[in-house]
Structure 1
Amino acid sequence: MPQIASLLNTLKKALKAHGLTYADIAPKLDLTEASVKRLFSEQAISLARLEQICQIMGMEISDLVQMMNEQQPRLQQLTADQEEEIARDLVLLLITVCALNRWSLEDIISFYNLSEPICIQKLARLDKLKIIELLPKNKIKLLVATNFSWRENGPIQHFFQEKIAQEFFKPALNDDDECLLVLNGMLSPQSNGEFQRKLKKIAREFDDLNNQDAALPLDKRNGVTVVMAMRDWKYGLFKPLIRS
């Protein structure tokens, strides 16, 4: 029964990610909205009904089960050695990021100029690193948590700071889907702690949205990177001006 409840909870999230309500799917199932609600509340959905609902979203039951498995408690961070190996290999890093964002092998080779054998080789390496499980037909099963994060001051963060930070903070931003805010002020330790808690809450909300949208096809999602930081600025550029 716990697995049924977990699967139906995943189904609800998938429906929400596709912008579908009980009222939307009811006519396609030849049911009333009330009947659909009852199926979910009583956890009385047959395999045939489950397959119908998945088909409405362009999914298979196996896709739903994979989503459910990905939502189970898993590895939240890699080891420093794992990150170091990934950071040394640009193609491996690219495919790692794709896998973490739930791209399929077909998505990767259709979007990037990479051959299928090279992609499979790199995915096999991620399998050995216990980051993914490479399933039959080259299906990818994530072995990390949905709130996975890179190590603080770890190899991947260092790679970002050295190779990507300048491009990331370029002056030109697209008003529609990009945002750069620079805030400056003076906070007490208590206010600083409160604001940091709010930043962490935003990070959790980002994880939730990312998880919800994982069920959408690749052409309905855009890759984004969010960097949030609070640092003491008084010893930076202004250090030479501070009275000793």
Structure 2
Amino acid sequence: MEPIWLSIKLAIITTILLLFIGIPIAYWLSRKQNIIKLVIEGLITMPLVLPPSVLGFYLLLAFSPKNAFGIWLHRNFDLQLVFSFKGLVIASIIYSLPFMISPIKAAFAHLPQSISQASYLMGKSKIQTFFYVLLPNIKPSILTAAVLTFAHTLGEFGVVLMIGGNIPGETRVASVAIYDAVETMDYNSANSYALILFAITFIIVIGVFVVNRNAVKSPFE
């Protein structure tokens, strides 16, 4: 069960961190567009279309202790991101960023401007409006984004293999364990890992459907 727990741990940490990172970015991107925002949104969306091995390769080069950025991290923060769990977290945040930002950005963009304006007229600040008016109105989208991020991170393979390798107890997540089992023709183990991941993801997705359905249900039903 060690690879399963490691995958769940990685998915939970990535999802929590991306909630704090992704919501402000999504709100900023949902406001008036300009060329800078267009370029940044394009970069954020790239993991959706790039092969995971491509992103993993460039992250591996960037994090390598032989390159300038890797040397800087090691000297200033004593961080080695290649073949470490911390590296998996950073890579997962970058790879799963569009799954967190896209649904939340769309939700912010579809909120009527009158909601914010009414809050300002009642004397609320921009921060108060953001936390107490806007965020409560997009809770279903935030939940959907969190689940998509969690499920996507749980099933990552290419990026985590490139950055983390296959170190038992440190970077050997369930998707890598499945690959190893298939390579050695241990289909029973591969099936066990795959069924557990399938069950976890299916239960979470169904739970989100139920919660979102209840959230939008009419009070007269």
More helix by share: 2
TM-score grouping bracket, smaller chain normalisation: under 0.3
TM-score normalised according to structure 1 size: 0.26
The structure showing larger relative contact order (alpha-carbon pairs under 8 Å, at least 6 residues apart) is: 2
